[in-house]
Amino acid sequence: MIRLTIPSIEDDDVMAVQEVLRSGYLVQGPRVAAFEQAIMAYLGMSHVIAVSNCTAALHLALLALDVRPGDLVLVATYSFVATANVIELCGAQPVFVDVRPDTFNMDPAQLAQTLERLMSNATTAQRVKAILPVHTFGQMADMPAILEIASRYGTPVIEDAACALGATCLGKQAGSWGTMGCFSFHPRKAITTGEGGLITTDSPVLARKLRALRNHGQDPEAKSPDFVLPGFNYRMTEFQAALGLTQMTKLDRIIAARRQGAAVYARLLHGTALQPPAQLPGYDPVYQSYVVLLPEAVAPRRAEIIAQLRVQGIETNIGTWHMPLTTYFRTRYGYRPGDFPVSDAIFARALTLPLYETLTPADQQKVVDLLLQQVH
């Protein structure tokens, strides 16, 4: 079976985890601090707060901005449901913004229109608390445009960079643009800690609050233990962080391999009916997922194509989720097909192809040959 993805776990990763397990010191400690330092150095950020997963990271980022019941958070439509779920879990309401057809990322024109509409009404204006763009599949959203629009109203921006460690726009790292950035280390990401996540920020005030929120509300700077707000246990373990540290030494190598694999797919798909992901000037994606668009006429057969390819030993999948049309958001807010036309089309046509560090060009040729047989 050519799998959709395989994490790059090697002997040094296994040994690092074993060493922690034998040490008997398992929860957040020096290795978590060292992992945070490694990410700080990589991204050039002043504060990194490791947590148990990216859903926790997003949840805490919203809480750190005091997102409360009744508030509004503008969020891209096309993402894993965690991105919008955390808004609901704060009691706030997501205001969905459709994406661009070429990058699958929040469309700045739609954002500007939606934000202007909300801000021109005094009641909704005071409820708007944040903008939450996603760097979908490891391709950065148009952060220069999004930040410019946000700055018109002083609205904070939280980057959902779950899939985008190492991705850049104009040479600047994902997670270093907004007020906060949230990352995932789930096994489908370039590097993994099993489950795992973190938040980046340059604000010492937010960093202190985030550290308290992840650890039962304990003030990280108090001389003797003190609990200053109601917090969670969203800590990362020492063995996750040990794995993160060895994985970090491979990050550049893994990203280079994924970019090479993406270039091979782009060559194989050139001139076919399949639309490869956009490669925009100034953007260096990390291809957390390699997602192509099937021709419109073929999209209704996507589930059958995925099943057929599986029988032929190739694992593929849909892209990600049209969040407003999932049962929860559809029934709660009454969204219908047509409300977000670009997401409607992408959600129907997207297909994720296998991509991981050790995937060979011969494997990729096989994936494309068999897929094209299904498409024609």
Ligand X SMILES: Cc1ncc(COP(=O)(O)O)c(C=O)c1O
Asked if residue 160 binds ligand X (CB under 6 A), the reply is: yes
Asked if residue 77 binds ligand X (CB under 6 A), the reply is: no
Asked if residue 83 binds ligand X (CB under 6 A), the reply is: yes
- Closer Cβ to ligand X, 179 or 364, answer by number: 179
Binding ligand X (rule: CB under 6 A), the pick from 2, 43, 50, 54 is 54
Asked if residue 186 binds ligand X (CB under 6 A), the reply is: yes
Q: How far is the CB of 289 from ligand X (least distance, A)?
A: 9
Asked if residue 51 binds ligand X (CB under 6 A), the reply is: no
Q: How far is the CB of 320 from ligand X (least distance, A)?
A: 7
- Closer Cβ to ligand X, 289 or 364, answer by number: 289
Stretch that binds ligand X, among 142-150, 158-166, 262-270, 362-370 (CB under 6 A): 158-166
Q: How far is the CB of 350 from ligand X (least distance, A)?
A: 14
Q: How far is the CB of 280 from ligand X (least distance, A)?
A: 19
Asked if residue 55 binds ligand X (CB under 6 A), the reply is: yes
- Closer Cβ to ligand X, 155 or 193, answer by number: 193
x-or-dash pattern for ligand X, window 197-226, by CB under 6 A?
A: x-----------------------------
Stretch that binds ligand X, among 52-60, 61-69, 255-263, 334-342 (CB under 6 A): 52-60
Q: How far is the CB of 221 from ligand X (least distance, A)?
A: 27
Asked if residue 82 binds ligand X (CB under 6 A), the reply is: yes
Residue-level length of the chain: 376
Binding ligand X (rule: CB under 6 A), the pick from 5, 77, 79, 110 is 79
Residues that bind ligand X (CB under 6 A): 53-55, 79-80, 82-83, 134, 160, 162-163, 184, 186, 197
